[in-house]
Amino acid sequence: MVQWIERTVVSGGVALAVFEAAAGPGGPAAPHDDRPVVLLVHGWPDTHIVWDGVAEALLPDARVFAFDCRGLGHSDRPHGISPYRIETLADDVFAVAGEVNTGGRVHLVAHDWGSILSWEAVSRPGADDVFASYTTISGPCLDHVGTLVRENFSPPTRDSLRATALQAIASTYIAVFHLPLVPRLLLSVLGIPRVWREYIHVMDGTPREVIQVAPTFRRDMIAGVAYYRANMLRRLIRPRPRPTRIPVLELINTRDFAIRTTTFALTGRYAENLTRRESATGHWLPLIDPGFVADNVRDHIAAVAPRPADSPNPAGTARSAVSARPS
C-alpha cells in the first residue's frame, strides 16, 4: 500500500497540499535520487488518493508526487468563482512542479479536470522547459473542444451533428451546474459515498469496490462546481489555438460515459508529438486499471528520454500512434 508524505506549496496565496509517494512508512526519497519525477493531477470530485494504485505501480521506477487541487481535499478553499479560472489552476501546476523538480523536467500525468487544467499548463510558451512529457486521461483541452464544435457546424454534416449531439447529451450535467441551487441539492445526494459508488457503477460499470472517496468528499463534490462555472462557457465559446511541443500520451476510455471519444478529434492538430492508447473501460481508468496507466506512463517516459546523438528517438518519428487494449 502506498504511503503519502504531505507538504505544503503556496500558489498565489493558496496553500496546496502536496504529497510524495513512498512504498511504506518512512521519509521522502533522498535529494540525490535520479529517478524521473512524475506529477499526478486529479480531477473532480477526487483528491490525490485517486492515484494510489498508479503511484504504487510507478514507485520502483520514478519519484511520484500528487497534490490536492485548490478547493479540494486538504488544500485551501478560496471563496468565489474567479480563483478557479483555468489560468490560475495552471499556475498551481507550475508552482507544484517547481517545488518537486530536482533538476530535470517533470512528467505530468492527469485525469478529468486535472487533464483539462494541465492542457492549459503544457500549452503555455516555455512549458517544455518545465515538463518532459504529458499523459492525459479523460480530460480534453477546452479550446480544442470549442474549436471542434465550431468546425462541426462549418458546414454541418450528419456525422458532425451526431457527434456534437451525443457529447451534448453526455455533458448535460455541465448545464445543470450553471443553475442556481440545483447543483447543491443534487450533489448533496451524490456526495453520499454509497450513492456515488452506485451511480458510477451503473453509469459506466466501474466496480464499486475500487471507487475511493476522501473524507472531504461531500464538500469536494459541491466545491468543484466552481471549476465548471469559472471556465466551461468562456473557453468553449471563445476558443484559442493551444499548441504544445511537449510529447503527449492520450489514454482514451472507449466506455467513458462523460466524454465521448470523438471529443479528442483535434488533439493531433495541436500536439506535435502525440501517442494514443485506447482502453475499453469507463471514466475512472486510474481506479479501474492503475497498472495499465502506470505501464503506459512508464513506456512514455522511456520513449521521450534523451538518447545518444547516434540513436534514433522513436518518440519523434511518428506524429500519432494508436493501439487498443482488449476488453
Tell me which architecture the domain covering 3-325 has in CATH: 3-Layer(aba) Sandwich (3.40)
* pLDDT grade for 193, boundaries at 50, 70 and 90: very high
Reported as a single tens digit per residue, the pLDDT across 208-239 is 999 999 999 999 988 888 998 999 888 888 88
Average pLDDT of span 115-144: 95
Taking residues 240-266, report their average pLDDT: 90
Give the per-residue pLDDT at 103.
79
Cα-based distances in Å from 316 to 101, 166, 269: 24, 34, 15
| pLDDT above 50 (res 325) | no
Pick the range with the lowest mean pLDDT from 175-184, 244-253, 272-281, 296-305: 175-184
pLDDT at 121 over 80: yes
Which of 27-41, 56-70, 138-152, 254-268 ranks highest by mean pLDDT?
A: 56-70
| Count of CB atoms situated within 10 Å of the CB of 3 | 15
Judge whether residue 181 has pLDDT over 80.
no
CB under 8 Å to 197, separation ≥6 — which residues?
208, 211, 213
Query: What's the pLDDT score for residue 188?
Result: 83
Provide the whole-model pTM.
0.86
The crossing angle, in degrees rounded to 10, of helices 225-237 and 142-152 is 50
The three cell numbers locating residue 79: 471563496
The domain spans of the chain are 3-325
User: Cα separation of 149 and 157, whole Å?
Assistant: 12
Q: Tell me the average pLDDT across 89-111.
A: 95
Q: What is the mean pLDDT of residues 128-152?
A: 89
Q: Residue 324: is its pLDDT beyond 60?
A: no
Nearest to 277, CA basis, from 241, 248, 237: 248
3-state helix/strand/coil string of the chain? CCEEEEEEEEECCEEEEEEEEECCCCCCCCCCCCCCEEEEECCCCCCHHHHHHHHHHHCCCCEEEEECCCCCCCCCCCCCCHHHCHHHHHHHHHHHHHHHCCCCCEEEEEECHHHHHHHHHHCCCCHHHCEEEEEEECCCCHHHHHHHHHHHECCECHHHHHHHHHHHHHCHHHHHHCCCCHHHHHHHHHCCHHHHHHHHHHHHCCCHHHCCCCCCHHHHHHHCHHHHHHHHHHHHHCCCCCCECCCEEEEEECCCCCCCHHHHCCHHHHECCEEEEEECCCCCHHHHCHHHHHHHHHHHHHHHCCCCCCCCCHHHCCCCCEEEECC
How far is residue 257 CA from its own chain's centroid? 16
Residue range 52-73: average pLDDT?
96
- For the stretch 260-277, pLDDT in tens is 888 898 999 999 999 999
pLDDT confidence of residue 322: 37
* pLDDT of 53: 97
158-177 pLDDT tens trace: 776 666 665 555 555 565 66
- 78 by Cβ neighbours in 10 Å (0-12 / 13-18 / 19+) ranks as middle
C-beta atoms surrounding 236 within 10 Å: 18
Q: Cα separation of 215 and 298, whole Å? A: 30
List the single range of 46-55, 132-141, 191-200, 293-302 with lowest mean pLDDT: 191-200
Statement: residue 186 has pLDDT above 50: yes
